[in-house]
Structure 1
Amino acid sequence: MALVHFCCTQAGPGGETEYAASNADTRLPVHQTEEYLPALSCYSVCIYTGASWRQLSLQRLHSSLPRFSPNQTTSSRSQIHLVSVVKMSHQPTVVDDDKHYTKDPVVNSNGSYGGSHDEEVGVVTKGEPLQRNLKNRHMQMIAIGGAIGAGLFVGSGGALRSGGPAALIIGYMIVGFMLMLTTQALAEMAVLYPVNGAFYTYVCRFVDPSWGFAMGWDYAIAWLTVLPFELVAASITIKFWRDDLNMGIWVAVFLVVLGIIQIFGVRGYGEVEFVLSLIKIAACIGFIILGIVINCGGVGDKGYLGAKYWHDPGAFQNGFNGFAGVFVVAAFAFGGTELVGLAAAESDNPRKAIPMASKQVFWRIAFFYIVNLFILGLIVPANDPRLLGSSGANTKASPFVLAIQDAGIKVLPSIFNAVITIAVISVANSCTFGSTRTMQAMAERGMAPRFLAYVDKQGRPIWCVLIQIAFGLLAFIGESADSSTVFGWLLALSGLSYFFVWGSICLAHVRMRMAWKVQGFTLDQIPYKNPWGVWGSAVGLFLNVICLIATFYNALYPSPNAEPDATAFFQAYLAAPIVLFLYLLWKLISRDWRLYVPLREVDLKSGVVLADPSDEPAEVKTWANLPKRVARALF
């Protein structure tokens, strides 16, 4: 592989830019580069800006260099640091600079040619690149089963007790609809920009770097603090069978298991999630069938139940306070779905896998959540005192386990307890993926310590993984007398994180579409278009704000007759002042006091993968292919 290095430097008191090329001792002006290099058609230019690699054909060099170099001088963050020319095994596609960037190959950090897959543009790492080892089946299971965990199997009992069966269904439907709008917005951006960091990067680019900094660290902290909680929760599920064993034993076992999974990198995460999600999906389907049988009087001695519990004790409990309390539980239950966008940088075909996975969110919400919760409200009364303990992973208070026990089925409670254990381990596995990839991406952007950006040859962000495992050691305090207080404050750090992140994703999509229009791009250039459009994202943002307001009210008044409690309020709303602190912190560090990035200054070209009409010819709409088109739209 032939390699010629070029330097681009800035000189002159007036800020004028001088471009020069060098090969050994030879220095040439850029305009003479084409004369210097033979066989021009098989060369391309790779520009490293300090934030990302860009590779361009030499025919586009003259129009591209000014875009990468600003007018000001001495700014190390904005200067071009290195330009390389590599000889490729085939001639790259030469396209109009203003229309397509899809065929630009990617250069690894060591200067080697890394392939011409358009999805790889924008994957930026220090050391080695993240590896694209997530297959389509992995992405599907991350979307369908990635967030089916203790929030559904256990936490739903607290929501049922707080708000009643009707409030439970309505609250989960509102949050579910909001999440469906969010994932579609994220899917459009992730296919268009399959870059490392996903939504954190989008918020920095399309909204404001300071807000992106706050969202990135808030999201990373949320996953860091949830891991020890999930490890304790998994250990509690074991007490269903053996109450005499020390919890620390199982914490150590689960922590070692998570460490072993990390050895296999993102492929290990994908394979484990694939298997665990299949088990959780099978459990959900099985409970739906069993719940119908129980409601109809097929098992147990209660006879036909019908809608009995919707009348006594009633469809709603505790007024608006109970209804508002459902939102936080629902957000915790649905949390993790956005990992599909975070996995875009490690998917082998994000253009195909991400839209398909995002569409599955609708079916997961409609079938696995709403149907299960509706049946649950029919067979478990909201005033059951055993539901008071339905927090964490106390499986003895799980409404699913209670329904099975009340039906007099002997073996199934243990089986479902095993399912809950698997679900909790799955969430812990997602913790390691969500936090490590977010921290690594932030380090790449200079918003985290530089050493966190390191990725080894197997595509593993080693230092980020070690930090996540270190946070997992906090789970050993689970046996202490003050563990509930400690974990209460740890979870307070992540209590509202999902609402902030989901709302920011919707805002980023709205801003991206606005900048897309202002800068003269067309919707036809977007490979996957959000079927809900920009208005869907606006509605999603509005619903997130409503949920934040409802949660604020519920934090002040947890029950209709309760007095405000400062401790309870901050444990429910601590994430808000932390986000504000992080936002102001980066404003002070960056000295960028703008509230948002002007639309004309939004970077829409770095790492973009535009639609290529030649890849997918327009399909003629006929009655014969109607079923195929409907299936593609839904799945």
Structure 2
Amino acid sequence: MVNTAYGEKIADDSKEATPTDLAPDVEEGTHEPQKLSRGLQGRHMQMIAIGGSIGAGLFVGSGSSLQSGGPASLLLGFIIIGVMLLCTVQALGELAVLYPVNGAFYVYGVRFIDPAWGFAMGWQYAIGWLITLPFEITAAGLTIDYWHHYNIGIWIAVFLTTLIIVQFFGVKGYGEVEFVLGIIKIIAVLGFIIFGIVVDCGGVPGDDRGYIGFRYWADTEHGNRAFRNGFKGFCSVFVNAAFAFGGTELVGLAAAEAANPRKSLPKATKQVFWRITGFYVVSLLIMGLIVPNSSPDLLNSSGANTKASPFVLAIEYAGVKGLPSVFNAVITISVMSVANSCTYGSTRTMQALAQGGMGPKFLSWIDKKGRPVWPVIIQMAFGLLAFINEAETGSTVFNWLLALTGLSSFFVWGSICLSHIRFRAGWKAAGRSLDDLPFRSQVGVYGSYLGLFLVVCSLAATFYVDLFPIGGTPTGGAESFFEGYIAAPIAITLFVFWKLWTRDRGFLVKVHEMDLDTGRRDFQDIPADEDPEPRNMSVGRRVSRALF
């Protein structure tokens, strides 16, 4: 059973609540004295959904996937992960509109799957963002090397200080920063797509390649091909694709701080697939057409090596002066945006875990402005790990720290889908109608089954390519395997720890014992014309709304 501190109800959801509002629980009528600020408006939620996940994973990490798997594998891998995200975010939207509770997917795991599994997913998610922050700050510092070489420690200090300043403004600071940076990233992607089409058609005077078309998909003479390294190359795309899409689920985590989640959250979740996947798939298709996948510049590309960004290389190969620097600046902005998301994701999850009795109690404290102070301090302290780069063994330490987060996105997305499946079973067992749900997943419970299936397939593909790395052997790739798959045993360890700590010998919350009321918002008093999506809307109109 989840602590009733999560419970909250606002009778008039169209009215923005303040941090000091006392919201009674639907079921028990209790009051919550400390609340996160409801400072996120609809435009913030939409930009978090649309632009929040566009970062170094797309702009830089896609380079290694292009080199190892080829443009066709790259495209197919991102499409598969995009479908997975469609199913996941739709499931999350249904749960988050009905239960806009602090902690979101961690709470759903506790309530609908198993408390120990929710504990494991919550802490793995929080730790993942904690460790990702210093890496992103480092990557932002390294982007400066594109123009001039400075001591990276200087830029680490500058970027970390900037993030600390943003935290003083609470959730509104996070929302506004993501809104502005998101617009810049979207404009950059759209600009690249137009630029890439011109290059591919031979419209750049300084590019002596002329018309390119699909030349690099079948240019075996120069080592370019649509699929590289066979099935291993295809499997190698999934981790990079998951890293690139990582953060999309933050729109569900932000529901607890949304001014009007019933209106803004469904609209934001519907845009995730049509717009994010559109940006990713179209931009990667164009990039794969104009960048030779056999280019040595793509070798060993990583999230911190912006000089290997295929997007920057595409502009350089076209011979356009000045524009590579502009796009490198966009990459710097994107990395800082992800760093901003790191801070939000980890602090809200830690606060929720502590509030639910699954973490140190002091982490649950929220100040008068609705900010989880101690989690923010801990996150900023973890940011100091970026200075490890000053040491000779810094890169080795960093690789192992990042290994802790390698598969965390897959586990979180799979948990969301499973939570939705289990919730639907509990809702049906309680004799409740789907018509009582304020928002329903457009792909239904079958979409969650598909999402969970794709997560399992992605984990299997990752296991295979980590065990049998491209160009290596199982024995020689032992270190690579543990770096890539260590997140799995960590999740199992956290699960077992909580089982032993609570002496809980059971497994899975029984369907008829599920808590379906704590934290549920009552929307019965809201006029029908304020419904974000009428239940009798046709499929065609649903798609139209999602697109436009």
* Alignment length (residue pairs): 533
CA distance in structure 1 between the aligned counterparts of 2:426 and 2:118, rounded to whole angstroms:
17
Matched, 1:114 2:27: no
1:613/1:539 Cα in 2 relative to 1: closer, same or farther (>3 Å)?
A: farther
- SS of 1:52's partner is helix
> Is the CA contact 2:125–2:412 (under 8 Å) kept in the aligned structure 1?
yes
Matched, 1:382 2:287: no
CA distance in structure 1 between the aligned counterparts of 2:431 and 2:83, rounded to whole angstroms:
32
User: In the TM superposition, what whole-angstrom CA distance separates every residue of 1:40-89 from its partner, at most 9, and x where no partner exists?
Assistant: xxxxxxxxx9632768xxxxxxxxxxxxxxxxxxxxxxxxxxxxxxxxxx
Quote the offset at 1:480 in angstroms: 2.1
2:404 to 480, 483, 493: 493
Q: Please name the residue that 2:58 is paired with.
A: 152
Q: Please name the residue that 2:491 is paired with.
A: 579
CA distance in structure 1 between the aligned counterparts of 2:23 and 2:496, rounded to whole angstroms:
40
Q: Please name the residue that 1:86 is paired with.
A: none
> Is the CA contact 1:104–1:116 (under 8 Å) kept in the aligned structure 2?
no
> Is the CA contact 1:525–1:612 (under 8 Å) kept in the aligned structure 2?
no
Letter in 1 for 2:104: A
Q: Please name the residue that 2:75 is paired with.
A: 169
Q: Please name the residue that 1:454 is paired with.
A: 365
Quote the offset at 1:600 in angstroms: 0.6
Q: Please name the residue that 1:355 is paired with.
A: 266
> Is the CA contact 1:225–1:471 (under 8 Å) kept in the aligned structure 2?
yes
1:479/1:591 Cα in 2 relative to 1: closer, same or farther (>3 Å)?
A: same
Counterparts of 1:36-51 in structure 2 under 5 Å? 51=4
Letter in 1 for 2:400: W
Structure possessing the higher radius of gyration over alpha carbons:
1
Letter in 2 for 1:237: T
Q: Please name the residue that 1:249 is paired with.
A: 154
CA distance in structure 1 between the aligned counterparts of 2:82 and 2:43, rounded to whole angstroms:
23
> Is the CA contact 2:7–2:24 (under 8 Å) kept in the aligned structure 1?
no
Quote the offset at 1:585 in angstroms: 0.3
1:450/1:297 Cα in 2 relative to 1: closer, same or farther (>3 Å)?
A: same
Letter in 1 for 2:184: I
Q: Please name the residue that 2:329 is paired with.
A: 418
> Which segments of 5 or more consecutive residues in structure 1 lack a partner in the other structure?
1-48, 56-100, 106-110
Counterparts of 1:590-601 in structure 2 under 5 Å? 590-601=502-513
> Is the CA contact 1:454–1:463 (under 8 Å) kept in the aligned structure 2?
yes
Matched, 1:272 2:185: no
Q: Please name the residue that 2:199 is paired with.
A: 294
User: In the TM superposition, what whole-angstrom CA distance separates every residue of 1:459-485 from its partner, at most 9, and x where no partner exists?
Assistant: 111100000001000001113221221
> Is the CA contact 1:123–1:345 (under 8 Å) kept in the aligned structure 2?
no
Structure with the bigger percentage of helix: 2
Quote the offset at 1:592 in angstroms: 1.3
Quote the offset at 1:113 in angstroms: 5.7
Letter in 2 for 1:52: A
Q: Please name the residue that 1:52 is paired with.
A: 5
1:573/1:629 Cα in 2 relative to 1: closer, same or farther (>3 Å)?
A: closer
Quote the offset at 1:566 in angstroms: 1.7
> Is the CA contact 1:53–1:124 (under 8 Å) kept in the aligned structure 2?
no
1:338/1:627 Cα in 2 relative to 1: closer, same or farther (>3 Å)?
A: closer
RMSD: 2.6
2:520 to 608, 618, 632: 608
Q: Please name the residue that 2:214 is paired with.
A: 307
Matched, 1:222 2:128: yes
1:431/1:529 Cα in 2 relative to 1: closer, same or farther (>3 Å)?
A: same
Matched, 1:239 2:145: yes
User: In the TM superposition, what whole-angstrom CA distance separates every residue of 1:436-461 from its partner, at most 9, and x where no partner exists?
Assistant: 00000000011010000011011111
Larger relative contact order (Cα-Cα within 8 Å, sequence gap ≥ 6): 2
- Percent identity of equivalent pairs: 60
Runs of 4+ in 1 over 4 A off after TM superposition: 115-118, 121-125, 617-623, 625-630
Matched, 1:258 2:190: no
Matched, 1:570 2:475: no
> Is the CA contact 1:123–1:129 (under 8 Å) kept in the aligned structure 2?
no
Counterparts of 1:501-516 in structure 2 under 5 Å? 501-516=412-427
Q: Please name the residue that 2:116 is paired with.
A: 210
2:37 to 131, 135, 142: 131
TM-score under structure 2 normalisation?
Answer: 0.93
1:165/1:337 Cα in 2 relative to 1: closer, same or farther (>3 Å)?
A: same
Letter in 2 for 1:51: T
Quote the offset at 1:381 in angstroms: 1.1
Quote the offset at 1:633 in angstroms: 4.8
Quote the offset at 1:560 in angstroms: 5.5
Letter in 2 for 1:310: W
1:472/1:237 Cα in 2 relative to 1: closer, same or farther (>3 Å)?
A: same
CA distance in structure 2 between the aligned counterparts of 1:634 and 1:611, rounded to whole angstroms:
26
User: In the TM superposition, what whole-angstrom CA distance separates every residue of 1:558-598 from its partner, at most 9, and x where no partner exists?
Assistant: 11553432211100000001000000000011111111000
Q: Please name the residue that 2:438 is paired with.
A: 527
> Is the CA contact 1:203–1:211 (under 8 Å) kept in the aligned structure 2?
yes
> Which segments of 5 or more consecutive residues in structure 2 lack a partner in the other structure?
14-18
User: In the TM superposition, what whole-angstrom CA distance separates every residue of 1:243-285 from its partner, at most 9, and x where no partner exists?
Assistant: 1x10000000000000000000000000000000000000000
- SS of 1:550's partner is helix
User: In the TM superposition, what whole-angstrom CA distance separates every residue of 1:117-153 from its partner, at most 9, and x where no partner exists?
Assistant: 99xx99997x631010000000000000000000000
Of 564-573 and 135-144, the range deviating more from structure 2: 564-573
CA distance in structure 1 between the aligned counterparts of 2:257 and 2:536, rounded to whole angstroms:
36
1:508/1:441 Cα in 2 relative to 1: closer, same or farther (>3 Å)?
A: same
CA distance in structure 2 between the aligned counterparts of 1:561 and 1:210, rounded to whole angstroms:
37
Of 601-610 and 427-436, the range deviating more from structure 2: 601-610
> Is the CA contact 2:22–2:31 (under 8 Å) kept in the aligned structure 1?
no
- SS of 1:154's partner is helix
CA distance in structure 2 between the aligned counterparts of 1:435 and 1:54, rounded to whole angstroms:
21
Quote the offset at 1:608 in angstroms: 1.0
Q: Please name the residue that 2:243 is paired with.
A: 332
1:104/1:599 Cα in 2 relative to 1: closer, same or farther (>3 Å)?
A: farther
Letter in 2 for 1:586: W
Matched, 1:554 2:465: yes
